[in-house]
């Protein structure tokens, strides 16, 4: 991989390092949808932690429910595998999925990156969006200077999701300075608006 970060998996909410495991990716039954379930023919529900097999779970789900165009994220605390998270998120964007946060939703860390994959992104009042720094096991992201190559995978991903370079950088550097890898910052309504997380 081009960047170190894309080879490292982070257990974001705990701030502890784990390494990406490929063994589960190829041992997933075609009827296994992991953290995804169907509400109806057009709507998927997501609950749980994003893992190394989440891209395969999404492939299985969208094959079984090809008319899906909406994803409702509920309790999504983050990702154990950052590389898999971005792969799954890109798949969601490529499937032209809109993403909504209901009033009781609570998403954090890598799940926020996945939320940004929504073609349309909406939320109800009361939903919570949490961000913080990543860690390589020894250093938080803030240990590396602005513009360092380790920051680029996220900034480039945000641009792929429709952010301008300036907006992508603004949101990314906000997240890594908002809280340490072992902590969490729950964004205010003003911050959610300022960093253009919603499309409406």
| pLDDT tens, residue by residue, 103-128 | 999 999 999 999 999 999 999 999 99
Asked if residues 200 and 146 have their Cβ atoms less than 8 Å apart, the reply is no
DSSP secondary structure letter of residue 99: E
| pLDDT tens, residue by residue, 130-167 | 999 999 889 999 999 999 999 999 999 999 999 999 99
Please check whether residue 104 lies inside any domain of the structure: yes
Please give the span between the terminal C-alpha atoms of the chain, in angstroms, as a whole number.
35
Q: Helix, strand, or coil here: 23? A: coil
Q: Which domain holds residue 126?
A: 4-194
Q: CA-to-CA distance for 13 and 108, rounded, in angstroms?
A: 8
pTM: 0.86
pLDDT above 90: residue 2: no
Please check whether residue 122 lies inside any domain of the structure: yes
Please check whether residue 200 lies inside any domain of the structure: no
Asked if residues 78 and 109 have their Cβ atoms less than 8 Å apart, the reply is yes
Task: Give how many domains the chain has, as a whole number.
Answer: 1
pLDDT band, residue 26 (cuts 50/70/90): low
């Amino acid at each position: 991989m081009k960047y170190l970060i894309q080879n490292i998996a982070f257990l974001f909410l705990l701030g502890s390092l784990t390494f990406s495991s490929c063994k589960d990716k190829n041992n997933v039954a075609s009827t296994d949808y992991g953290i995804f379930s169907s509400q109806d023919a057009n709507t998927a529900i997501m609950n749980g932690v994003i893992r190394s097999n989440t891209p395969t779970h999404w492939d299985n789900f969208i094959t079984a429910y090809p008319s899906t165009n909406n994803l409702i994220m509920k309790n999504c605390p983050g990702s154990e595998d950052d590389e898999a998270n971005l792969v799954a998120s890109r798949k969601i964007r490529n499937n032209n999925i809109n993403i909504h946060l209901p009033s009781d939703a609570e998403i954090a860390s890598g799940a926020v990156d996945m939320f940004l994959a929504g073609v349309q992104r909406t939320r109800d009042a009361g939903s919570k969006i949490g961000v913080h720094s990543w860690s390589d096991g020894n250093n938080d992201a803030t240990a590396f200077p602005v513009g360092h190559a380790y920051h680029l995978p996220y900034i480039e991903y945000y641009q792929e999701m429709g952010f301008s370079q300036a907006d992508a950088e603004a949101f990314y550097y906000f997240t890594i300075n908002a809280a340490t890898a072992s902590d969490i910052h729950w964004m205010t309504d003003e911050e959610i608006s300022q960093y253009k997380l919603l499309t409406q």
